[in-house]
Structure formats: C-alpha cells, structure tokens
A = this chain, B = another copy of it.
Amino acid sequence: MSSTDSGPGAEVRRGLYETMVLCRTYEEAILREYHADKGPGFDIGKGLVPGEMHLSAGQEPVAAGVCAHLTSDDAVTATHRPHHLAIAHGMDLEAMTAEIFGRVDGLGRGRGGHMHLFDPATHFSCSGIIAEGYPPALGMAFAFQRRGTDRVAVAVTGEGAANQGAFHESLNLAALWRLPVVFVVEDNDWGISVPRSASTAVPSNATRAAAYGIPGERVEDNDVDAVWAAAGRAVARARAGDGPSLLEVHTVRLWGHFEGDAQGYRPELAELPGRDPIPRYAARLTDAGILDAAAIDRMKAAASERVEAAVAFAKASALPDPSDALDFVFA
C-alpha cells in the first residue's frame, strides 16, 4: 500500500499521539485507583479494583499503530494486558471501566474483570490464558470471510506467548485457509520475570512467519509510525483476501508485569523512563511542527476528562447483587 509505505501523514500522526495519550492516561488512573485502597500493606484482594492488574504503559505504540487501521466492524482479540488495545479499538470507556471495577454496568456486568473484556460493539475480546486468544480470532476472521466482507481480525499476544502451541497452530491454520487475520506480537522483552533470551530460540518472531509461508515483519524501537506502516500493509493484505501476516513490535513494559511486582529480576529498570514512547513521540511531532506544547496539554486534559468521567461512571454503578451470582451460565 503506497499510503502506508510513505508513512503516516500529519493528521494520522496527531491521531496516533492522541490515542497513545488516552491509553496512558487510562492506565495512570487505573494504577491510582488500584493502589488507592490495597493497604495497609498490599492485599491483592482488597479495594475497588481487586485482583491481578496488568497495565500496558509503554506498549501504546502497538495499540495505536495497529488499531488506526481498523473500524469497529473489525475484531481484536487481546491478552491479560488488554486495556491499550481495547481503548485504541474504540471500546466504550464507561462500560470498560465499570467492568474493571466489577459493577453491573460493566461490559460483563462485573462477571469478567480486567482480563475478560468482551464487547460485541467493537468485536473485542480477551483471555487470560497465554496465546489462547489467537484461535478465536481465526473464527471471527472465518465468519468475516464466509460472509464475503472485507473485515479483519487482529490477534495480539506477547513475545512469551509465541512459544505456546496455540501460536503455531493458529498461524498454520490461518495461512492454510488464507484467513483475514493480522497476528501481532508485542515483544516487551519479558514474560513476567523471564527474558526473551530465556524463552525464545530466535531473536525475532518475525522469522517464524516463514514456517507458514506468510509475511513476517518486526518493528524495532517501539516506533509508532513504523507500526502504523507495517500494520497498514498487513491489514490491507488481509482485507484484500491475501491472508494473514505476522507483525512483531519491539516495545517496552514500563511498569511491573502486574501491579505489586517489585521487578527484582529486571536489570534495566533505571533506563526505563528514557524508553517511554510517549514523550519521545511528542518531541518528534513537535520537531516536525505537527504538535506544540499547547496542543499536547489540550490532548492530555481531554484524555483526563474522558478517563475520569469513566472512572466516576464506574464508581457510581451498582455492585452486582449476590443473589444473581448464578446467572448467565447458559444463554
């Protein structure tokens, strides 16, 4: 696609930045709410947002760059770390937040939680089981294909997940049936405490595309413009009926694997702030004359407003009634 090969234009880049800011702003709010009432000490089961919490700070370029090519008719399947993708794909922030707070107005009426965001409106789903979000994406793509549409499914996992059997089976089946899927690997260097070098026999998962005869690409340096361009090619290919692609992005997990993770295993902690993609992109767009400080502030303020409204909505929503606990097992 020549449009993506030449890189994103100013308008698109402004949008990418805006999306990244919204994602980050969201995670900052969840971070705050999550830790607000876990004490004294840290009790994972306590507070308005209990349970495990996997935040995506640093990985916004993947979400923004990929989802910019999608409409809400396209499907996205994500992992235990789904917020940035959900937001970039256009999920309703209020219903999403209410779910994370376990409220009746949540997407899953409080049944799912942050690893189980299911949104029919944006064909978004996620799963807490490593790599097992890939196979359902095949089925969404299958339905899109059979119905003669040009809709696509994007399936996302981490680099750790690329060593799980479901990864292999999914790529082979999608390639074989030329399903309109874009497989995305977020390589943040870590699977919890295990570095990529201790989990993956090859330096780049893009190499693995050859095992299925499909295009494989790796974007280095968490570069949202490059993600946008590569994802554009992959999405266009899928829409054109030419089958799946594999896209790996070298990204960064700025925070712990989950909240409460002291990251004692992680040598590069000190250098992380310098690897934050958002100020870097802001500087780049400022240099290019696409953004200025005022615009940046406006975007952040607008994002905050949306996010805080969603948090307020969630807090105002009712807690699920224990007497309904057995509902929704069967349709």
Contacts and interface: CB of A to CB of B under 8 A. Distances in A.
Interface of A: 163-169, 171-173, 175-176, 198-202, 207-208, 210-214
A164 B214 CA distance: 18
A169 B176 contact: no
Contacts of A214: 201
A208 B202 CA distance: 12
Number of copies: 2
Q: Is the interface of A mostly helix, strand, loop or mixed?
A: helix
CB-CB nearest 6 A-B residue pairs: A165-B165, A168-B168, A175-B201, A208-B211, A211-B211, A201-B212
A278 to B, nearest CB: 33
A305 B212 CA distance: 47
Contact of A199 (B163, B165, B176, B211): B176
A171 B181 CA distance: 25
Nearest to A202: B213
Nearest to A163: B172
Nearest to A175: B201
Contacts of A213: 201-202, 207
Contacts of A166: 165
Contacts of A207: 210-211, 213
